[in-house]
Structure 1
Amino acid sequence: MKAIKKINNNVVICVDDNKKELIAFGKGIGFPAVPYEITDLSLISMTFYKMDRSYYRLLEEIPEEIFEVSALIVKKAQRTLDCNLNPNLLPGLADHINFALTRLKKFKKMKMLFSYDIEQLYPQETELARYAVKMIQKKLFVKLPDSEITNIAMHFVNAQEENTMASSHRSTDEIIQEITKEIESDFEVMIDRNGFNYNRFVMHLRYYMKRIEEKKQFIDDNSVLFKAVKEESPKIYECAKRIASMIDERLGAQSTEDEILYLMIHIGRILKNNIAV
């Protein structure tokens, strides 16, 4: 197996003997200069195949310790859930945990709600999420609120459904294109549709619309964070509100405040990091 690119000291991008690309974990395997042959495969503790290349930059941005604990959690999910999990679960979960820790530091007194509906609908995924929260506390010395059990459980749910979902309906793709043009028009930018942040936004929109159709919208009581983001970025708020109204009109629904909050966060990320030059 050949290491071809370093992510951090313990994670590298590799090519196996069949020329297939993968992400490999192992203590110290990122220290040698790349490319190099990993002759002692016992050094590798975990491997992940078929991860979307657009996520590679995120792997470099996320703190090493968060990325590694996320990999342990995903490995546990792979052993527990009787199905194939989407390979992009790892970067998506690491990104969420990183955001959750940042949010916790900034809004220490914010209260969010644990969803008993999610626990009833997805008991196995909820139990895995409890394991994840305990692992984060053990490895990172941070106690996340119970609401994160709900959020992390949904990552496991989505990682399973993503593999069984048929190609997106044309109407969904049309709405996403309209939304993209709305953002470009509002902020007079050209969005890089191949960038990671845009792809993350598209995935969020797909599940946002899926949640609306299944009447499982986010209701986390993030009112403190919602108010702070709204006051900090009023133009992004107005754009997110228009997008939510556009989706509501097409799907005959009423988006929650929490859904609008997550739209604002994603729009902010796109504007900051994912604009085509």
Structure 2
Amino acid sequence: MKAIKKINNNVAVCEDNNKKELIAFGKGIGFPSMPYEITDLGSITMTFYRMDKSYYKLLEEIPEEVFEVSALIVKRAQNTLDCKLNPNLLPGLADHINFALIRLKKFKKMKMLFSYDVEQLYPEETKLGKYAVDLIQKKLLVKLPESEITNIAMHFVNAEEENISESSEWNVELLIDEITNKIEIWFEVSIDRKGFNYNRFVMHLRYCLKRIEEKKQFVDDNGTLFTVMKEESPRIYECAVKISSMIENKLQAQITQDEILYLMIHMSRILKNNTAN
């Protein structure tokens, strides 16, 4: 196996003997100059194939310890759930956990709700969510709120199918393109649609649309964070409301405040990486 790109000290993009690209975990494999041949395959602890290359930069941004804990959680899910999982589950989950840790530091007193509906509908995924929260406390010494069991469980649910049902009477790609165009017009920006921040935004939209279609939206009672972000970024809020109305008209469903909040967060991320025309 050949290591071809460093992610962090213990993670690298590699190429196996069949020239297939993968993400490999192993103590110190990111230290040597790239590329190099990994002769001791016993040093490799985990491998993940078929991850979208657009997420590689995202993985470099996430703290090493958060990424490694996320990988352990995904590995547990792969061994537990009787189904194929989206190969991009790892970057999506790592990104979510990293944000949850940042949010906890900024809003320690914020109350969020555990969903008993999700627990009833998805018992195995909820068990994995509980395992994830316990592992984060053990490895990172941070106790996340109980609501994160629900949020992490939904990442597994969403990853069990890559696309929204084909029976949908509306075009997912077209709707995402319409949303992107509205953001570009509203803020007079040109969005880099090949960048990892945009791909992260698209991944969020896909999951959001699936949750709305299946009537399983996030309801976390994030009122404090929503109010703060609305006051700090009024134009992002106004644009998010317009986009939500567009989605509601298309799907004939009302979007929760929490889904609008997550939309605002992801919009903020892509806008920070674009220049006004």
Q: Which TM-score band applies after superposition, normalised by the shorter structure? A: over 0.9
Q: What's the RMSD between the two structures over aligned residues?
A: 1.7
Superposed CA deviations along residues 69-122 of structure 1, whole A, max 9, x for unmatched, are 001111111111111111111111100000000000000000000000100000
Q: TM-score, normalized by length of structure 1? A: 0.96
TM-score by structure 2 length?
A: 0.96
1:13 is paired with a residue whose SS is strand
Question: What pairs with 1:197-216 in structure 2 (closer than 5 Å)?
Answer: 197-216=197-216
Q: Partner of 1:108 in structure 2?
A: 108
Q: C-alpha displacement at 1:51, in angstroms?
A: 0.4
What is the match of residue 51 of structure 2?
51
Partner amino acid, structure 1, of 2:182: E
Structure 2, unmatched stretches of 5+, are none
Distance (Å, rounded) in 2 between the aligned partners of 1:31 and 1:208: 38
Shift of 1:27: 0.6
Matched, 1:259 2:259: yes
Aligned residue identity for 2:194: N
1:1-43 superposed Cα distances (whole Å, 9 cap, x missing partner):
1111111110011111100001110011111111110001000
Q: What is the 5 A alignment of 1:188-227?
A: 188-227=188-227
Matches within 5 A, 1:74-223: 74-162=74-162, 165-166=165-166, 171-223=171-223
Partner of 1:17: 17
**Hey, which bits of structure 1, 4+ residues long, moved more than 3 A?**
163-170, 274-277
Q: Residues of 1 paired with 2:148 and 2:41: CA distance?
A: 35
Residue identity matched to 1:191: I
Cα gap change, 1:264/1:163 in structure 2, threshold over 3 Å: closer, same or farther?
closer
Q: Identity percentage over the alignment?
A: 76
Residue 142 (structure 1) shift:
0.1
Correspondence for 2:6: 6
Kindly tell me: are residues 190 and 163 of structure 1, through their superposed partners in 2, closer, same or farther at Cα, counting changes over 3 Å?
A: closer
Instruction: Say if 1:86 and 1:15 are closer, same or farther in 2 by CA, change over 3 A.
Output: same
Question: Cα distance, 1:250 vs. partner?
Answer: 1.6
Matched letter for residue 105 of structure 1: K
Separation of aligned partners in 2, 1:67 and 1:273: 22
**Counterpart-to-counterpart distance in 1, 2:276 and 2:202:** 16
Seen in structure 2, the aligned counterparts of structure 1 residues 22 and 100 have a Cα distance that, compared at 3 Å, is same
Deviation at 1:167, TM superposition (A): 9.7
Segments of 5+ residues of structure 1 without an aligned counterpart are none
The CA deviation at 1:62 is 0.3
Aligned partners of 1:254 and 1:168: how far apart in 2?
Answer: 17
Superposed CA offset, 1:135-157 (max 9, x none): 00000000000000000001111
Q: How many residues align?
A: 277
